[in-house]
Amino acid sequence: TVFFVSDQTGVTAETMGHSLLTQFDGREFKPVTLPFISTVDKAEEAARRISATAAEQGVRPIVFSTLVNDDVREVIRRADCLYLDFFDAFLGPLEQELGQVSSHALGRAHGMTDLAAYTARINATNYALANDDGGATHDYDRADVILVGVSRSGKTPTCVYLALQYGVFAANFPLTDENLESRRLPPVLSFHRRKLFGLTINAERLQQIRQERRPDSRYASMPQCNFEIRGAEQLFERFGIPFLDTTGCSIEEISARVLD
């Protein structure tokens, strides 16, 4: 069992902890997030749970911590576990290098201290939702990027992630049979061609995704999936649109490659 313990949301502990655990093949980890452990009382309750897990399973849990308060951290540190504290690892060397003691303030990583950046992310998210799936194309002038591809190739979740994480104004447009048969871009896309980025996907994976959505339909058939993917990739190559095969990529990786 792996505990992610934080005095706020736990997102930082989860992200860094999961990154480390992926380096250990053949191991199965049970993740448990304990957020908002901001007082000694809450820490003691969490420590009892961690130690009880060790006693029950006969193996020490791993604890990834981003706790700031020293008293709270000390309580968790005494639990029966492997305690890994990201602030212990990095704040000390940073304080020494910068010649300044850190503030130990709670909630800085995911708070609203930079209101302008937070507002930009919210505005970008609203934009992504309003410009999803080609539903509204009149506002493409504001887009930073327009993702194009066949249905279920990962366009919508990538747009939302780009907005939430980076404040990128991302729209997406699905390529239809009409677009693929004509081998031409819709006029609205031609006008914004420099903003286009294509997503493609393996036909077998696309068929699997579509089968879950609309079982045994023409939409989910292998011939249809092959036709759409082949046509989309030909469009990308014909019009010089950069594109990415999303088959083995997470949303985070797709987004990073689009930004790059």
pLDDT, tens digit, for every residue of 99-151? Answer: 998 876 655 555 556 788 889 999 999 999 999 999 889 999 999 999 999 99
Helices and strands in the chain: count of H runs, count of E runs: 11, 8
Confidence check: pLDDT of 72 > 90 = yes
Per-residue pLDDT at 109: 56
Mean pLDDT of all residues in 178-199: 95
Per-residue pLDDT at 205: 96
Question: 59-63: which pairs have CB atoms within 8 A and are 24 or more residues apart?
Answer: 61/1, 61/2, 61/3, 62/1, 62/2, 62/3, 62/17, 62/29, 63/2, 63/3, 63/5
User: pLDDT tens digit string along 150-171?
Assistant: 999 999 999 999 999 999 999 9
User: pLDDT tens digit string along 75-103?
Assistant: 999 999 999 999 888 888 998 999 998 87
Residue 230 pLDDT level (bands cut at 50, 70, 90) = very high
C-alpha dist (Å) from residue 75 to 67, 103, 184: 11, 20, 64
Measured distance CA(125)–CA(134) in Å, rounded = 16
Say how many residues make up the chain. 260
Per-residue pLDDT at 104: 64
Mean pLDDT of all residues in 188-213: 96
Measured distance CA(234)–CA(185) in Å, rounded = 11
Q: What's the pTM?
A: 0.74
Measured distance CA(96)–CA(39) in Å, rounded = 28
Mean pLDDT of all residues in 59-88: 95
Cβ pair 158, 254 in contact under 8 A: yes
Rounded to the nearest 10 degrees, the angle between the axes of helix 155-166 and helix 251-259 is: 70
CA torsion sign, 232 to 150 to 175 to 255? negative
Token pair for 169: 């104004």
